[in-house]
């Protein structure tokens, strides 16, 4: 088994036992847990010091998983997903399959197709959405690379993924698009 495969397996094992992981996403370093389980979501928010009502993103493996967490997937959203060329989070009305703490006050959730190979394999093997919120204490700068992650965050998680810890590549946070009435898509953050 390769180092990459070992890290995928370790992450999935931790997630299956309701643990919180620190991992590299397709954008920045993130904190994650199983998006369907309330207890780990609550622990993750407590670790971050994240205020209630400020939802986190959920990574999904494919359109079928996205449809499990979205109350609706209109053709406009399917077309946007097929055409996207960079990480994009879609804010959509949420289904009841997610932990309630992940929903915004308006009943929406941010969903993103995992494009990064590591994230995609973890989500696919987990079989559930993966919470993806930046690995920083609330109000502090977002860590683009592992060396920028606060020691308090590193100590507070159950598993620190070793994959890409030496990678110094910096990427921007995802683009954010909101699904509006009638399926209209509105760019919230470019």
Query: 105-164 pLDDT, tens per residue?
Result: 999 999 999 989 999 999 999 999 999 999 999 999 999 999 999 999 999 999 999 999
If one looks up domain 3-189 in CATH, what number appears? 3.90.870.10
Distance CA 46, CA 49 (A): 5
Mean pLDDT over residues 4-15, rounded? 98
Q: What's the pLDDT at 77?
A: 86
Phi and psi based region of residue 156 (left: phi greater than 0; alpha: psi -120 to 50; beta: remaining): alpha
Mean pLDDT over residues 15-40, rounded? 97
The residue ranges of every structural domain in the chain are 3-189
What's this model's pTM, rounded to 2 decimal places?
0.95
Scan for tokens 């929903």, then name that residue.
Answer: 103
171 band by pLDDT with thresholds 50, 70 and 90? confident
Indicate the angle between helix axes 117-126 and 3-16, nearest 10 degrees: 40
- Phi, psi at 176, each rounded to 5°: -125, 130
Of 145, 150, 133, residue with least CA distance to 31? 133
Query: 41-94 pLDDT, tens per residue?
Result: 999 999 999 887 788 999 999 999 999 999 988 888 888 888 888 899 999 999
Q: What is the CA radius of gyration of the chain?
A: 15
Residue 96 burial (C-beta neighbours within 10 Å; 0-12, 13-18, 19+): exposed
């Amino acid at each position: 088994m390769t180092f990459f495969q070992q890290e995928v397996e370790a992450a999935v094992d931790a997630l299956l036992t309701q643990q919180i992981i620190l991992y590299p996403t397709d954008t920045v370093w993130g904190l994650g847990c199983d998006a369907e389980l309330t207890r780990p979501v609550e622990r993750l928010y407590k670790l971050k010091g994240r205020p209630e009502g400020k939802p986190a993103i959920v990574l999904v493996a494919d359109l079928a998983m996205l449809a499990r967490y979205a109350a609706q997937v209109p053709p406009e959203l399917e077309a946007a997903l097929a055409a996207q060329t960079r990480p994009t989070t879609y804010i959509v009305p949420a289904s009841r399959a997610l932990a309630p703490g992940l929903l915004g006050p308006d009943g929406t959730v941010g969903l993103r197709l995992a494009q990064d190979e590591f994230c995609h394999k973890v989500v696919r093997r987990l079989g559930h959405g993966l919470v993806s919120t930046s690995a920083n204490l609330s109000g502090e700068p977002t860590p683009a690379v592992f060396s920028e992650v606060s020691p308090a965050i590193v100590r507070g998680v159950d598993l620190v993924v070793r994959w890409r810890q030496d990678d110094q590549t910096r990427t921007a946070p995802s683009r954010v698009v909101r699904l509006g009435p009638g399926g209209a898509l509105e760019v919230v953050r470019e």
